Amino acid sequence: MTTRPIAVVGASAAGITAAEALRRAGWTGPLTLIGDEPHLPYDRPPLSKQLLHGAWEPARLMLRTAEQLAPLDLDLRLGTRATGLDVATRTLTLDDGQRLACAGVIIATGVAARTLPAADGLTGVFTLRTLDDALALRDRLSGGPRRLVVVGNGVLGCEAAAVARELGHEVTLIGREPVPMAAAVGPGMGELLADEHRARGVRLLTGEVAAFEPAAAADRPVQVDGVRLVDGSRLPADLVLLAIGSEPAVGWLTDPALDTTDGLGCDAYCAAAPGIYAAGDVARWEHPVHGRPLRFEHRMNATEQAMAAARNLVAELTAEAVNGTAEAAGDGAEPPERRPFAPVPYFWSDQYGLKLQAYGLTTGADQVETTVLDRDARRAVALFGRAGRAVGVLACALPPRQLRSLRALVATPVLWEEARDRLREATTVG
């Protein structure tokens, strides 16, 4: 048995799933899980929903308890950051100065929230990516009515705006795009959801931030007091949430053998280099069905891709062992085959009582058709196409019996007219 570990970098949804899948695939050697946050792996989607709302406490977000982790026999290093990776020798450098020569590495470092330098040094300006971020914002939302400006009208900004409004705060949602979430859900669905936000009392604005204005008080650090827009207008604010997208956490991967343009570039097997795989929000890989590199920041993808990457890494190490280039990967069990990772992407979003669910690709479409089934109930479906074929479908407030067939509809790109007919059929099922 090898004495070198497999290391998984990033101890969140993809990281913990990869660790478990490595064991299931037969890896009996040392297994190190490295995460720079101090917490056990936790789930992020509730951060902008139940946790921010106050309905759930942090314990409910934990993906595994310490007892559930025990059988994995992990060398768990929380509060530890990987600072470098030498690809040829598969050696990680950690922020405590340690060097870890590995049999294989799975990179699951996710993304980090984008910030604006103009907000540096001001209190009351938040991002929403980590548990600590969410708790800090929740704390400030719990002390009576506030004027909250959400900068960025994508999915995250809209979810947070909905929760803050439900909590009774005065909410302004500002984005560069006139229609909220248009990039993710298309203009028609975005308009429908904009109606819901307006009906709930959210003020929607199109514009760009020029500066954050501090309160007049001389206290340090200085509290934000307003947001100045490029057109000169001013939005008073007690709190600002920056929901302006994210950056893949690849800054530490400087080895030129790796392609780190828009995440870590991988092949169809989720391999970035021999013995080095990636999964989750950080991974951009060649999707074998769509025939182009894709990267998703979706919870379901983190789980599915981590399982695929782990299985493929064990298969590669087993093949290396058979060829005499490495120690045995498993305990003699039948080695898994390396398989291309070809999921049907899925994401959801919850805003007010509405559930949005999407299968396939909704971004990068050249054709979008939205059908409003019931305007008052905000019930609608949208079909997304590319080069004459339907590649994605999105539903809002659709009953489960109608939703069921939508995944199959876009499992592979299908001729637009055919998909449209099938969608119409699916949404008229009684």
Of 37 and 267, which CB lies nearer to ligand FAD in the complex structure? 37
Does residue 277 belong to the site contacting ligand FAD (CB under 6 A)?
no
Does residue 20 belong to the site contacting ligand FAD (CB under 6 A)?
no
DSSP sequence for 262-329:
TSEEE-TTSEEETTEEE-GGGEEEEETTTTEEE----HHHHHHHHHHHHHHHHHHHHHHHHTTSS---
The correct pick among 6, 33, 85, 111 for binding ligand FAD (CB under 6 A) is 111
Cα separation, 192 vs 53, whole angstroms: 23
The correct pick among 2, 109, 318, 402 for binding ligand FAD (CB under 6 A) is 109
Q: Find residue 374's DSSP bridge partners.
A: 379
Does residue 302 belong to the site contacting ligand FAD (CB under 6 A)?
yes
Measured N-to-C along each axis, helices 299-322 and 13-24 cross at an angle, to the nearest 10 degrees, of 40
Does residue 10 belong to the site contacting ligand FAD (CB under 6 A)?
yes
Does residue 359 belong to the site contacting ligand FAD (CB under 6 A)?
no
The correct pick among 190, 214, 280, 330 for binding ligand FAD (CB under 6 A) is 280
The runs of H, that is alpha helices, within 25-130 are 50-53, 66-69
Of 90 and 299, which CB lies nearer to ligand FAD in the complex structure? 299
Beta-carbon contacts of residue 372 (< 8 Å; ≥ 6 apart): 188, 192, 379, 380
Of 192 and 302, which CB lies nearer to ligand FAD in the complex structure? 302
| 369-428 residues near ligand FAD, rule: CB under 6 A | none
Does residue 348 belong to the site contacting ligand FAD (CB under 6 A)?
yes
Does residue 13 belong to the site contacting ligand FAD (CB under 6 A)?
yes
The runs of H, that is alpha helices, within 36-107 are 50-53, 66-69
| Residue listed under structure tokens 């998984």 | 8
What's 402's DSSP letter? H
Does residue 15 belong to the site contacting ligand FAD (CB under 6 A)?
yes
| 140-159 residues near ligand FAD, rule: CB under 6 A | 156
Of 10 and 124, which CB lies nearer to ligand FAD in the complex structure? 10
Does residue 77 belong to the site contacting ligand FAD (CB under 6 A)?
no
Binding mask 229-268 for ligand FAD (x = CB under 6 A): --------------------x--x----------------
Q: Taking contact as CB under 6 A, which single stretch among the options 43-51, 96-104, 185-193, 393-401 is the one that binds ligand FAD?
A: 43-51
User: Cβ of residue 235: shortest distance to ligand FAD, in angstroms?
Assistant: 23
**Count residues contacting ligand FAD (CB under 6 A)?**
36
Cα separation, 358 vs 347, whole angstroms: 5
User: Cβ of residue 171: shortest distance to ligand FAD, in angstroms?
Assistant: 16
Q: Which two tokens stand for residue 61?
A: 């977000």
Cβ–Cβ under 8 Å, residues 181 and 158: yes
Beta-carbon contacts of residue 430 (< 8 Å; ≥ 6 apart): none
Paired sense of beta strands 104-107 and 6-9, if any:
parallel
Task: List the one residue out of 36, 32, 12, 35 whose CA is nearest residue 22.
Answer: 32
The correct pick among 4, 23, 28, 37 for binding ligand FAD (CB under 6 A) is 37
The correct pick among 45, 58, 178, 340 for binding ligand FAD (CB under 6 A) is 45
Q: Find residue 150's DSSP bridge partners.
A: 173, 241
Q: Measured between alpha carbons, how far is residue 66 from residues 32, 73, 337 in Å?
A: 15, 11, 31
Of 34 and 326, which CB lies nearer to ligand FAD in the complex structure? 34
The correct pick among 191, 196, 225, 281 for binding ligand FAD (CB under 6 A) is 281
What residues line the site for ligand FAD (CB under 6 A)?
9-15, 34-37, 44-45, 47-48, 81-82, 108-111, 128-129, 156, 249, 252, 280-281, 297-300, 302, 347-349
